[in-house]
Chains A and B, each alone.
Chain A
Amino acid sequence: MNFETLQQIKKEQLSKIALRFNKPCNLYEKEICICFDTGCQSTNSAKLFEEFANQLKINNLTSKIALSKVGCFGFCSLGSIVVIYPQGYFYTKVKAEDAAEIVQQSIINDSLVERLLYTKEDLTKAKIQTEIDFYKKQKHIARKNSQFIDAENIKDYIALDGYMALYKALTTYQPKDIVDIIKTSGLRGRGGAGFSTGTKWEFAYNNESDEKFVICNADEGDPGAFMDRSILEGDPHSVLEAMAIEGYAIGAKKGFIYVRAEYPLATKRLEIAINQAKENNLLGDNIFGTDFCFDIELRLGAGAFVCGEETALINSVEGKRGEPRLRPPYPAEKGVYGKPTVVNNVETLAIVAQIILNGAEWFLRYGTKNSPGTKVFALTGKIKNTGLIETEMGTTLRELIYDLGGGIPDGKKLKAIQMGGPSGGCLTANDLDIKIDYESLKEHNAMMGSGGVIVMDEDTCMVDIAKFFIEFSCDESCGKCTPCRIGNKRILEILNKITGGKATMGDLDTLKELCIFVKENSLCGLGQSSPNPILSSLNNFYDEYIEHIVNKRCPAKVCKDLVTYVIKENCVGCSACFRVCPVDAISKAENNKYVIDQQKCIRCGKCFATCRFNAIARQ
């Protein structure tokens, strides 16, 4: 591959996909693009694709209309998403049965299928993507390509300036220049801690060694975050290109991508991408005719959250148990096989090529002073619009939750916003005006983490959520150091006492003490941060803990042992509850109404879910 060929491919492919950017196209009149991300595939977008192909054939349109697979649009709750170019008609929740109508209305004719358009807050319909509030305040850098390209076709990526940054890096810059550009851009690791990417590269650059390694950390274990999966599935080449640039900068010839086992589609797309890049000599020996050689190998995880920690990940890449190593020495000094290694997160890498193309100054224009650029957030939980949102750093939580996320559904009240997963903390409605960047979140005892934002409403019990996270950490603790292995277990026991109504106020002091101890004495990031969800909920929802301990009540009515079910006066005696009770705790009283024997009741809630007359109270 040389520059001329790259330009040639770009030109040819751009003419094929011009409709996606509302530019004239000689080959096709219209184009149907279907999202092929895991989320949309679960709503059967593969069948939808076949049906569209079939409809085009029936109507004899195959030569005039293009039918393509593209990456994630980010609005996962609306899958499957179909867009008709050049108009950009944005169809949501499309099923295979709808294909015929769309072809008839929007392909053969120029009209819309109204019922498949997104309904806005004011009940009008949004014709195109940019009319939807969810997209209005977004700025795409890491997710720039995903919705426009087919991840399994390298030409699509090249058409959007793919591998131009690598060419520029290899032919116009010295390795040290690249390190400096990334350092000047202020790019910080998007995986959690927010360490300066350029500084990390500089350490590895300065360490002399016959061999160095680049690792892409795609072990996205933080529950509630899925931006890395979406980037890998939608735009895998952006990660490969960045790894090659990084390899050139620090002097590495080999890279590993460590993907978690739960992401089969991302793995498949990466395999395809690596093969295509090798075929085109964009990976391999003498890339672009220079002396630079770089190769990438995939390593599959096997299901261990702790492998997201860089030293544990390095052990796992080597094929060992994923137990963390002591730091220092840091990986930039001694990483894989004892050689200098840089570990970067997927989203961080997805930004690198664009910084090289557009310059550090360009990147600094976005975001805040200390946290430049954009961040992808996975907005999930009790929120109207769930999906991936990429906004500039410094966006307030209020904008994120209400303007972009559409607020809390069913008229419920916002209770907490959990950020940073099992290592992070929760924020409350009082914190809505916090500008999201690394420092501000830390000040409020939360953290950016990988960008998972889980919204909770009044039906969520914060003690139960704290318990949920500590159960997670207990399960995922590798067992190497005692504070984490045993400390978390003891924390869980105290929380079980609290949710079981058996705790005393003294337990609360022990809990706090233990949390601080585990935090201060654990070996790696997992143990050092596992008590965070508890400390932050103790801080923000202290009253809720007191309710559980003193009044033996769970205000959100979640904790089983603190909830009682009672049949009210309006029971009609239909016997539905009597029939579903698994322990025969319900019997008929003399007045033909039913009663629950509280001694026998196991509080499974089946009667409550079954009663159609709203005659059972949960207290």
Chain B
Amino acid sequence: MENNCNNFNENSDAFLDEIIDKFNANQLTRIEVLQEIQNKLGYVPKDAVIKVADNSNVPLAEFYGILTFYSQFKMEKPARFKIEICMGTACYVKGAQQIYDYIRGYAEDKNKDNETLYTIDSSRCLGCCGIAPVMKINDKIYGNLTLDKVKNILQEMK
């Protein structure tokens, strides 16, 4: 369940030059540029966007506008466990709020003594309403959650 996020280093990351070349050749849209960076690093570091803006015709503000408009983009490095709790209607009706509150509390406790181990997000809908309530940890979906089940899942995550 390890997250794929490396540290960004302007000098060693040739991938960014490739992205910039593709972007300048009109092979990528602005959103796709940011998506490629995020896929590679797990987030979109400020320095990376500045570099793209400096080396293309698009001003930084445009990129920043897109970054902040779409909820998928993260500008902070994510923690080892990225937990997304679905707060779609089906999950909400089946008690997702309680699960969200519990995980929040749990993560806050754990994050205190062990730097940032968890990032908690709520999702608009993961599209698994048939097995609500649902959460996603890194890329795995857990369904039909109960508080007890959540406790077990969190404990097994090391």
What is the interface of chain A, defined by CB distance below 8 A to chain B? 38-39, 41-43, 75-77, 79, 220-226, 229, 261-264, 299-305, 316-322, 378, 380-382, 386-388, 418, 421, 452, 454, 456, 460, 465, 468-469, 472, 476, 478
What would be 18 A-B contacts, judged by CB atoms less than 8 Å apart?
Answer: A39-B131, A42-B131, A76-B128, A223-B88, A224-B125, A226-B130, A262-B123, A302-B72, A305-B124, A319-B28, A320-B31, A320-B66, A378-B90, A378-B129, A381-B89, A381-B90, A465-B89, A468-B92
Name which of B4-12, B13-21, B135-143 contacts chain A.
B135-143
Query: A423 CA to B124 CA in the complex, in Å?
Result: 15
Identify which of A79, A301, A319, A421 contacts B89 (C-beta below 8 A): A421
Expressed in whole angstroms, the Cα–Cα distance for A460 and B94 within the complex equals 9
Taking each of A39, A322, A468, which has the highest tally of chain B beta carbons within 10 Å of its own beta carbon?
A: A39
Q: How far is the CB of B62 from chain A (nearest CB, A)?
A: 8
**A381→B88 CA distance, assembly (Å):** 11
Set B34, B128, B141: member contacting A226, Cβ < 8 A: B128
Residue of A nearest to B58 (CB): A319
A195 to B86, CA, bound (A): 31
CB distance from B33 to the nearest CB of A (A): 8
B72 with A224: CB separation less than 8 A: no
A77 surroundings in chain B (CB, below 8 A): 130-131, 144
A224 to nearest B CB, angstroms? Answer: 4
Binding site for A on B (CB under 8 A): 28-32, 34-35, 65-66, 69-73, 87-94, 123-132, 134, 139-144
Cβ–Cβ contact B143 & A476, under 8 A: no
Q: Which of A38, A322, A387, A465 contacts B127 (CB 8 A)?
A: A38
Cβ–Cβ contact A386 & B130, under 8 A: yes
Could you say which residues of chain A place their CB within 8 Å of the CB of B141? 38, 41-42
Chain A residue numbers with a CB within 8 Å of B71 are 302-304
Q: Chain A: which residue is nearest B95 at the CB level?
A: A459
B30 touches A320 (CB 8 A): yes
Contacts of B65 in A (CB 8 A): 321
Give 18 A-B pairs besides A42-B140, A226-B130 with Cβ atoms closer than 8 angstroms. Answer: A38-B127, A41-B141, A76-B128, A223-B90, A224-B90, A226-B127, A261-B72, A262-B125, A262-B127, A264-B139, A301-B70, A302-B71, A303-B124, A322-B70, A386-B129, A386-B130, A421-B89, A465-B93
Contacts of B126 in A (CB 8 A): 262
Contacts of B131 in A (CB 8 A): 39, 42-43, 76-77, 79, 386
Query: Contact: B72 with A39, CB < 8 Å?
Result: no
How far apart are the CA atoms of A300 and B31 in the complex, in Å? 9
- Do A42 and B128 contact each other (CB < 8 Å), given the known contacts A303-B70, A322-B70? yes
* Bound: A388/B49 CA distance, A: 42
Top 6 closest A-B pairs, CB basis? Answer: A76-B130, A319-B29, A223-B88, A302-B70, A303-B72, A223-B125
Q: A317: which B residues are within 8 A, CB to CB?
A: 29
Across the interface, A39 reaches (CB within 8 A) one of B32, B66, B69, B128, namely B128
Closest to A40 in B: B131
Q: Is the CB of B89 within 8 A of A468?
A: yes
- Per the bound structure, the CA–CA distance linking A233 and B35 in Å amounts to 22
The answer to whether A302 touches B143, judged by C-beta atoms less than 8 angstroms apart, is: no
List the A side residues contacting B129 at CB < 8 Å. Answer: 76, 223-226, 378, 380, 386, 452
Are A42 and B94 in contact, CB atoms less than 8 angstroms apart?
no
Compute how far the CA of A456 lies from the CA of B123 in the bound complex, rounded to whole angstroms: 21
Nearest CB to that of B90 among chain A residues? Answer: A380
Contact B72 A382 (CB under 8 A): no
Contacts of B73 in A (CB 8 A): 302-303
Residues from chain A with Cβ under 8 Å of B94 in the complex? 381-382
Q: Is B130 in contact with A380, judged by CB distance below 8 angstroms?
A: yes
Instruction: Report yes or no: B29 in contact with A454, Cβ–Cβ below 8 A.
Output: no
Contacts of B91 on A, CB cut-off 8 Å?
Answer: 223
Residues of B within 8 A of A456 (CB): 93
The distance in angstroms between the C-alpha atoms of A42 and B32, with both chains bound, is 28
Residues of A within 8 A of B30 (CB): 319-320
A41 vs B142: C-alpha distance when bound (angstroms): 9
A386 CB to closest chain B CB (Å) equals 5
Q: Judging by beta carbons under 8 Å apart, are B130 and A39 in contact?
A: yes
Nearest chain A CB to B82 CB, angstrom units: 13
Q: Which of A302, A388, A468, A478 has the most CB of B within 10 A?
A: A302
B130-A381 in contact (CB<8A): no
A378 to B70, CA, bound (A): 26
CA distance A76 to B34 in the complex (A): 34
A220: chain B residues at CB < 8 Å are: 127
- Residue ID in chain B nearest A227 by CB atoms: B127
Q: Is the CB of B125 within 8 A of A221?
A: yes
Shortest Cβ distance from residue B134 to the other chain A in the assembled complex, whole angstroms = 8
With a cutoff of 8 Å between Cβ atoms, the chain B residues found around residue A229 in the complex are 127
**A386 contact set on B, CB distance < 8 A:** 90, 129-132
Whether A224 and B88, one on each chain, are in contact in the complex, defined by CB atoms closer than 8 angstroms, is yes
B75 CB → nearest A CB, Å? 13
Most A CB contacts (10 A, CB to CB) among B70, B73, B134 go to: B70
Partner of A222, one of B32, B70, B125, B134: B125
Contact B130 A319 (CB under 8 A): no
Contact A38 B128 (CB under 8 A): yes
- A472→B31 CA distance, assembly (Å): 23
- Collect the chain A residues with CB atoms within 8 Å of residue B89's CB: 223-224, 380-381, 418, 421, 452, 454, 465, 468-469
- Give the residues in chain A near B143, CB-CB below 8 Å: 39, 42-43, 79
For the complex, give the distance between the alpha carbons of A338 and B73 in Å.
27
A314 to chain B, nearest CB (A): 12
